[in-house]
Amino acid sequence: MSPRAKRWSYCNTGGCAKACAAPERSFWIGREETTHRQPPGNLGQRGRPAGPTSCGWLICQTAGVPPHRDVAAFDERAPGYEQGSRGRLHHDIADRAAELALSVHAAPRRVLDVGCGTGYLLRLLAGRCPHATELAGIDPAPSMIEAAEQAADDRRLRFTVGAAERLPYPDGVFDLVASTTSFDHWADQRAGLGECARVLVPGGHLLLADLFSPWLVPTLLGRRRGKARTRQRASRLLSAAGFKDLAWHDLYAFILKAVTATT
């Protein structure tokens, strides 16, 4: 392992890449225990190298980790979560997710971010959506919600502690639901997508961004075997939850994808 390489995993508090608490093994892009630099000329949407870290690596370290490891660790990281190079990475991913969300639903009235973390994506959308009446965020880490509330600068922003599998909202209240780098760590992805569909109005839009790539197939042989980490698996779950008009997009580097869909 290169001494310059930093270890990251994408986790379930939204718009982020986070260091794992106690991983049993690493998955480096391409294959396990193997490192890959971004190929020359593989540029992101803004003309920069597609890798998210300063040393040019995109690394995910999630295999063999208990599915509920995240909350306590993220509680500890919440106060400085948007700072430094990690914070810039979170912001860059969220910036791109916001652009994509508004390209499919230009003027949402009520927005939900599932796995909102410190609320950066919703703050961004609040500034871009002056006619929205509510921008709600939910996250299982209490300190993330506390940080989101402290950073909130708009009375339309509302944050709640909770999980994707049991959203505490009535049926058909949001016209845009977003989830950014959260889906991979939902305990029950099928149930979570069903909840997203339930709270959307008919014809509402979903933006789901996370790790979806054939490079991740080896991780499905271990504790991630039940996860939707490829486009095919995710598409099947989305269709089963009642979503239609699925469209896939390259969001960040070559492994972080986004899918938009409607109810």
Mean pLDDT (the chain, rounded): 75
Residue, of 40 and 253, whose pLDDT is higher: 253
The pLDDT tens digits of the residues spanning 146-160 come to 999 999 999 999 999
One-letter identity of residue 30: G
Whether the per-residue pLDDT at 26 is higher than 90: the answer is: no
**DSSP sequence for the chain:** --TTPPP-B--TTSS--B--SS-SS-EETTEET---PPPTT-B-TTSSBS-SSTTS--EE--TT--TT-HHHHHHHHGGGTTSHHHHHHHHHHHHHHHHHHHHH-SS-SEEEEET-TTSHHHHHHHHH-TT-SEEEEEES-HHHHHHHHHH--STTEEEEE--GGG--S-TT-EEEEEEES-GGG-S-HHHHHHHHHHHEEEEEEEEEEEE--GGGGGGGGTTTTTS--SHHHHHHHHHHTT-EEEEEEEEETTTEEEEEEE-
pLDDT at residue 214, rounded to an integer: 59
Which range is least confidently modeled, 56-60, 159-163, 200-204? 56-60
**pLDDT at 221 > cutoff 80:** no
Question: Which residue matches tokens 């500890």?
Answer: 76
CATH among 3.40.50.150, 3.30.70.270, 2.60.40.420, 3.40.50.10210 for 70-262: 3.40.50.150
Mean pLDDT for 38-48 is 32
Q: How confident is residue 25, by pLDDT bands cut at 50, 70 and 90? A: very low
Q: Where are the domains of the chain?
A: 70-262
